[in-house]
A = this chain, B = another copy of it.
Amino acid sequence: MPAETPVAELVERARAGQARAVARLISLVEDESPRLREVAAALTPHTGNAVVLGLTGPPGVGKSTSTSVLVGAFRARGLRVGVLAIDPSSPFSGGALLGDRIRMHDHTTDPDVFIRSMATRGHLGGLAVATPQALRVLDAAGYDVVLIETVGVGQSEVDIVSLADTTVVLLAPGMGDGIQAAKAGILEVADVFVVNKADRDGASETVRDLKHMISLGRRELGPSWRQPIVRTVASAGEGVADVLAALDAHRAWLESHGELTVRRETRAAREIEAIAVASLRARFAGPGGSAVASLAKRVAAGELDPYAAADLLTG
């Protein structure tokens, strides 16, 4: 598809189910193409329909397998599914050292499943800007469910997952990860907990630890949604129906409590702020980049304090 295909036509084709048009639109928003704003404007009237799910958890709990199984379950319901797999790449090498991107062989030939790996490289606003735009593309293209899967734990992953209507946190037994995950804040963003690899030793202890942590955290959370804990063996497809039931229950709760609107407005507010901050950052990195460098020399030499330098930068 040539680069000069008009945006309106790309959006039309994407909405007609052409995966190549979807991919092209995501590339335009991911690469911060000059046409990015045009794309965002063209997509907007068609957005707001997709169910947005976040899935995260520490390394090794089976996120990719669980994603694949969930995609299959949604397909069995006749739903079209988009997947955004977040690959936090290095700020230093411009790519993950061992960047084995997700491959979900079961679904790659299904025209009603679209899978995309997202990376941070080159994007000034990072995944905080690129991910919501990619989500908009899939939403406008008519995918009924968009699943955002993040590998790793940490603040930036938490920020991304918090884009979702419903966030699923995966854990697995015997990894000593419960407490560590809590430190990284992911337990507190969970709407649904899944203990995967539940056939392994220690699954009951993990569930027990989770229940304890949920009871400790209860005062911090809204009173009316009780985070369920679902056991799965994703590699064998066990427990998937229970996960779907938990997702449906959370959806019903969101809608009946006005929370869906609250979450989506919060998501939009963060998206706007991330874009505004990124565009201001771009100004610093642009013609003003040399200004930062010369201010940095003075700060590093102890001649100027960093707040005074920032004032000089922002005028």
A-to-B contact residues, CB < 8 Å: 36-37, 40-41, 43-48, 58-60, 87-94, 96-99, 120, 126, 132-133, 151-159, 162, 176-177, 179-180, 182-185, 187-189, 213, 216-217, 220, 261, 264-269, 271-273, 275-277, 279-281, 284, 292-293, 295-297, 299-310, 313-314
Contacts of A60 in B (CB 8 A): 176, 180
Chain A to chain B: the 10 pairs with minimum beta-carbon distance, closest first: A154-B154, A59-B180, A269-B296, A90-B185, A268-B299, A93-B220, A275-B310, A155-B156, A268-B296, A40-B305
Interface pair B93/A188, CB less than 8 Å apart: yes
Cβ contact within 8 Å between A273 and B265:
no
A158 contacts across to B, CB distance below 8 A: 90-91
Chain B residues with CB under 8 A of A153: 152-154
Chain B residues, CB < 8 A from A132: 306
In the docked arrangement, what's the CA distance between A184 and B89, Å? 7
Known: A98-B216, A152-B180. 18 other contacts (CB 8 A): A44-B302, A44-B305, A59-B183, A88-B183, A88-B184, A93-B188, A94-B220, A96-B182, A97-B188, A152-B154, A268-B295, A268-B296, A268-B309, A269-B293, A273-B313, A275-B306, A276-B314, A277-B281
- Collect the chain B residues with CB atoms within 8 Å of residue A179's CB: 98
Residues of B within 8 A of A162 (CB): 91
User: Do the beta carbons of A302 and B182 come within 8 Å of each other?
Assistant: no
Q: Contact between B96 and A41 (Cβ–Cβ < 8 Å)? A: no
On whether the beta carbons of A302 and B48 are closer than 8 Å, the reply is yes
Task: Given A155-B120, A277-B281, A279-B314, verify A185-B88 contact (CB < 8 Å).
Answer: yes
Q: Do the beta carbons of B314 and A188 come within 8 Å of each other? A: no
Most chain B CB neighbours (cut-off 10 Å) among A183, A277, A279: A183
Chain B, residue nearest A275 (CB): B310
Tell me, in angstroms, the Cα distance from A47 to B91 when the chains sit together: 27
Nearest residue (CB) in B for A299 is B268
Q: In the complex, which residues of chain B have a beta carbon less than 8 angstroms from the beta carbon of A58?
A: 59
Bound complex: CA of A281 vs CA of B269, how far in Å?
A: 12
Partner of A156, one of B92, B156, B293, B295: B156
- How far, in Å, is A109 (CB) from chain B's closest CB? 26
Q: How far is the CA of A279 from the CA of B313 in the complex (A)?
A: 11
Residues of B within 8 A of A275 (CB): 306-307, 309-310
Q: Does B268 contact A300, Cβ atoms closer than 8 Å? A: yes
Q: Is the CB of A97 within 8 A of B154?
A: no
Are A264 and B300 touching (Cβ within 8 A)?
A: yes
Is the beta-carbon distance between B91 and A155 smaller than 8 angstroms?
yes
Q: Are A151 and B92 in contact (CB under 8 A)?
A: no
CB pair A91 B302 closer than 8 Å:
no
Q: How far is the CB of A291 from chain B (nearest CB, A)?
A: 10
CA distance A106 to B208 in the complex (A): 33
By a CB distance below 8 angstroms, the chain B residues around A216 are 97-98
